[in-house]
Amino acid sequence: MSQRIRKAVFPVAGLGTRFLPATKTVPKEMLPVVDKPLIQYAVDEAIEAGCDTLVFVTNRYKHSVADYFDKAYELEQKLEKAGKSELLAVIRDVLPRHVRAVFVTQAEALGLGHAVLCAQPVVGDEPFAVLLPDDLIWNKGPGALRQMADLAEKESASVIAVQDVPREQTGSYGIVATRDFSGRHGEITAIVEKPRPEVAPSNLAVVGRYVLSGRIFELLKHTRPGAGGEIQLTDGIAALMAEERVLAYRFQGRRFDCGSRIGLVEATIEFALDHEDLAEPAREYMRAALAR
C-alpha cells in the first residue's frame, strides 16, 4: 500500500459516558479546548497529513457535529455586515474548500471496529486514516498523522500510533509487542486489548491514530464481538497482522487523553499557556490560584 492516504475516518458515535451530564446533549467531540472543539483539532491534523475526504461516523444524537461543519449562512451574513472579517475567516476556515465531509451513521454503538466498518462504502479498499478526536495530539512540527502517513507510504505498511505508558496502566489500553523496534518504529507481532500489567507484552500502548490498509474492512466483517461485547478494532488489526505488515510508531508530540476529565483539564491549561492572547492572563491566574 505505497499509496498516500486521502481519506480520514472519525468514529464519533460513542456514548461519552465519562462526561455525563454534559454529553447528554453535547457530543464529547464538541467539547472545547480553549476556543475550538476537539473534533476541529483532529480534522486540522488530518488535513495537514494530506486528507481531503473526511468521513464522520455519527449517530442520531450527534447532529451538532454535522451542523458544525455546515455553512452558517445567517452568522456569516451578520459578521460580514458588521465588518468582522477576522471572525468570518475563523468560521469559514473550519473546513477548507478542497476538503469534503461525508457523514455515515452507526445505528447502534457496537464498538470502535464496527464504527470503522461503517465507513467502508466511502473509503473503498484504499489505505485510510482513523483518528479518535478525544486523543488530542499536539506537536509544534508535523502532526502525528502526517508523520504516520509518511512512514506508511515509505514502508508500504499499516501504521499504528503508540505511546509509552506506566506499566500499571496497561489495563486501560491496547498493548503491542514488537520486533526490530529501532528509532521510532517496529513491526507489531502481537496486540492485546487491555492486559493486566503482569501479562502485558510491553508498555507500548495504542493511542487514537491509525493508518490502515483497506483490507481491514473485510477482516472486520468477520470479527466477532470481543472485550465488553463490542466489535474491537484491535481484533481486526490482529487479523490484519496475519496477512500484512503493521508497524507501531512512537510519534513525536504530546497526547492529551481528552476522553477523561483530567486530560481535558490538562489540555485546556497547556493550550491556554501557549495561546498568544491568553498565555499571560492564564499564567497570572494560575499563580494566584495556586498561592491561595
Question: H/E/C letters for each residue in 97-122?
Answer: CCCEEEEEECCCCCCHHHHHHCCHHH
Give 17 or 182: the residue with its C-beta nearer to ligand UTP.
17
CB of 69 to ligand UTP, least distance (A): 16
Q: Find the part of the chain contacting ligand UTP (CB under 6 A) among 76-84, 90-98, 111-119, 183-191.
A: 111-119
- DSSP conformation class of 28: G
Number of residues located near ligand UTP, criterion CB under 6 A: 20
Q: Are strands 7-11 and 128-131 parallel, antiparallel or unpaired?
A: parallel
CB of 210 to ligand UTP, least distance (A): 12
CB of 280 to ligand UTP, least distance (A): 34
Residues 59-78 close enough to bind ligand UTP by CB under 6 A: none
CB of 108 to ligand UTP, least distance (A): 7
Q: Assess 115 for contact with ligand UTP (CB under 6 A).
A: yes
Q: Is the CB of residue 99 less than 8 Å from the CB of residue 47?
A: yes
Q: What is each CA distance from 280 to 263, 274, 276, 284, in whole angstroms?
A: 22, 9, 8, 6
Among 259, 264, 271, 282, contact with ligand UTP (rule: CB under 6 A): 259
Q: What is each CA distance from 43 to 12, 50, 79, 125, 165, in whole angstroms?
A: 12, 11, 24, 22, 26
| Residues forming the site for ligand UTP (CB under 6 A) | 11-18, 28, 57, 106, 109-112, 114-115, 132, 134, 259
